[in-house]
Amino acid sequence: MTRQELIQQIREKRSFLCVGLDTDLDKIPAHLLQTEDPVFEFNKAIIDATKDLCVAYKPNVAFYEALGPKGWESLKKTIDYIPAHCLTIADAKRGDIGNTSTYYAKTFFDYLNCDAVTVAPYMGEDSVTPFQEFEGKWVILLALTSNKGALDFQFTTDASGEELYKKVLKKSSKWGSENNLMYVVGATRAEGIAEVRKIVPHHFFLVPGVGAQGGSLEDVAKYGWNDDCGLLVNASRSVIYASNSADFAIEARKEAQKLQEEMAQILTAKNF
């Protein structure tokens, strides 16, 4: 999916919601456990219930990997099932050198046919650019994460007072363009979002941390907005685990709709 197609989807659906598919056998409704592929059955129901309300889905690869080869099958079936009008993001946080990164890229872009994959920046340019050689695909690079541990290294300042996450943004923005590179920017650091937006005015941000982690959608829009919206706000548990009974998909839709309606108001207020 191209940047223009993504922007078009945001306009049409009045939403910049990404639904995180952190699908966990310990949390999905018990009645699904009798099916042949409970993970896929759960995802299918969630996708059917929310696909008109969101513009992206983000399976968290850890949950699928932990199930062995069967988990990878469920992941592939899920990606295949997501309609083409939604961006598919493999939240994998990979990062290795040259040839190895190319193999990770092949996994997510060729084998699974995802649109985007999350990547960690610690190993530098030659760990990121192999992903960017895949035409029409996206790297979503970790910049400022939403967790407590973000404080350990991401805010380390250099001699000129510049934090590491800013250096990551400045350097990496030269490795790709706003057409193949986005950034992970956590909603729990509202002021941080504004700082990131100053450095990369045109890039899209994937924003985790709204809802369960305490970030506010209003703040994200206030600090992160750009002329093309420039935001994909993720919600995982608050949507997909809204209920663990037979009505789980209906309740997931209600939660997604609340977020979509709030987003529609923001888009309208921004004359988008």
Beta-bridge mates of residue 252: none
Shortest Å distance, C-beta 198 to a copy of itself: 20
| Binding range to a copy of itself, per CB under 8 A, among 46-54, 148-156, 224-232, 250-258 | 148-156
Residues 162-201 as x/- pattern, contact with a copy of itself by CB under 8 A:
--x--xx--x------------------------------
Among all chains, which residue has been given the structure tokens 């998909």? 249
Query: What is residue 84's DSSP assignment?
Result: T
Question: Annotated catalytic sites, by residue?
Answer: 93
Count of alpha carbons within 13 angstroms of residue 141, beta-carbon side: 31
The whole-angstrom separation of Cα 89 and Cα 125 is 21
Nearer to a copy of itself, 49 or 242 (CB): 242
The whole-angstrom separation of Cα 8 and Cα 4 is 6
Span 107-126, contacts to a copy of itself by CB under 8 A = 107, 110-111, 120-126
Q: Does 25 bind a copy of itself (CB under 8 A)?
A: no
Among all chains, which residue has been given the structure tokens 């007072």? 161
Give every CB contact of residue 162 below 8 A, 6+ residues apart in sequence. none
| Binding range to a copy of itself, per CB under 8 A, among 7-15, 50-58, 158-166, 191-199 | 158-166
Nearer to a copy of itself, 119 or 266 (CB): 119
Give every CB contact of residue 77 below 8 A, 6+ residues apart in sequence. 37, 40
Count of alpha carbons within 13 angstroms of residue 46, beta-carbon side: 36
Contacts with a copy of itself by CB under 8 A: the residue count is 57
Residues that bind a copy of itself (CB under 8 A): 22, 60, 62-63, 65-70, 72-73, 76, 91, 93-98, 100-101, 103-104, 106-107, 110-111, 120-128, 142, 145-154, 156-159, 161, 164, 167-168, 171
